[in-house]
Structure 1
């Protein structure tokens, strides 16, 4: 049996709806996050749940950046957790310890919905904070401390876990 790896793909509700309709997440390559050697070294932890939470958090930050690029979609961060064969995942070891690239991986093929393990999404009550964070993320990336405070406000909201059979209700 091939070894599987848990990978976190950032998206939006609209992106999830399109992927669900298509039956797969894609097209490839897909930017995602996972427990990479660099992430392990940065967090100095052997606790896989803690490391996977760190990768999930990185994916949620990437989802926020997608929201900043797409002001017309609901203001909820969304991450799709998938289990894929190790061979479908690439990461750049040269960027392994770059804090901006921690946990970054690239999926080399589309991901059929059968490989989706779960979806993590903000609750509706997070939308105001997430909207403010999406509007501020560019300034925060440029070093604006007030904007970073606003972005951190979105991270105060824990993403909720949804089983795959709940996806139609989530996107509906």
Structure 2
């Protein structure tokens, strides 16, 4: 199953160093039956994009924690790792949430999606507002939208070490 795993720059750097991705809490996102049912229209590609968007928002939450712990030097970029692994449904969470067990080997990674440098200001603002947006704060939701207006860049797995090195 193609899953979209939320990550951050430090998680990406550890992935390159260790040769595997260790997802936070085993949480990932995928095109689940529940996610498919929540959309009245859309082809497979559009629905996969919706799952990736959920992972990108989860990446904002991870960034918010890192910034809250004083990790201000962390690049403010959403990171989503697309991988082909076994997953189990998580009906207790968002529509597209799934659980994966264990680390994800580099051989299972299909692509990595990362914000460009131009998105950093909007992403930093959104990371600080994501919880308020979840609680219905319209100003915070606007900040999330500003970050989500930036498309994530696509990278082949063979390019990730070079990307992290350039940091």
TM-score by length of 2: 0.90
Post-superposition offset of 1:44? 2.8
Deviations along 1:11-41, whole A, 9 cap, x unmatched? 0011011122111112685100000000110
Match of 1:92 among 79, 90, 100: 90
The reply on whether 1:112 has 2:105 as its aligned counterpart is yes
Q: Greater shift after overlay, 38-47 or 153-162?
A: 38-47
Q: Aligned-pair RMSD on alpha carbons?
A: 1.5
**How far apart, in 2, do the equivalents of 1:154 and 1:27 lie?**
22
Inter-CA distance 27–154: structure 2 relative to 1 (3 Å threshold): closer
Query: How many residue pairs are counted as aligned between the two chains?
Result: 160
Contact 2:7/2:23 (<8 A) preserved: no
Which 4+ stretches in 1 moved above 4 angstroms?
Answer: none
**Aligned runs of 1:34-113 on 2, under 5 Å?**
34-45=30-41, 47-71=43-67, 72=71, 73-84=74-85, 88-93=86-91, 95=92, 101-113=94-106
**How far apart, in 2, do the equivalents of 1:92 and 1:10 lie?**
15
| Structure 2 residue ranges without an equivalent (≥5) | none
Post-superposition offset of 1:46? 5.8
Name 1:19's counterpart in structure 2. 15
Inter-CA distance 33–27: structure 2 relative to 1 (3 Å threshold): closer
Deviations along 1:58-109, whole A, 9 cap, x unmatched? 000000000000012210000000012xxx311134x4xxxx6110000022
TM-score by length of 1: 0.88
| Structure 1 residue ranges without an equivalent (≥5) | none
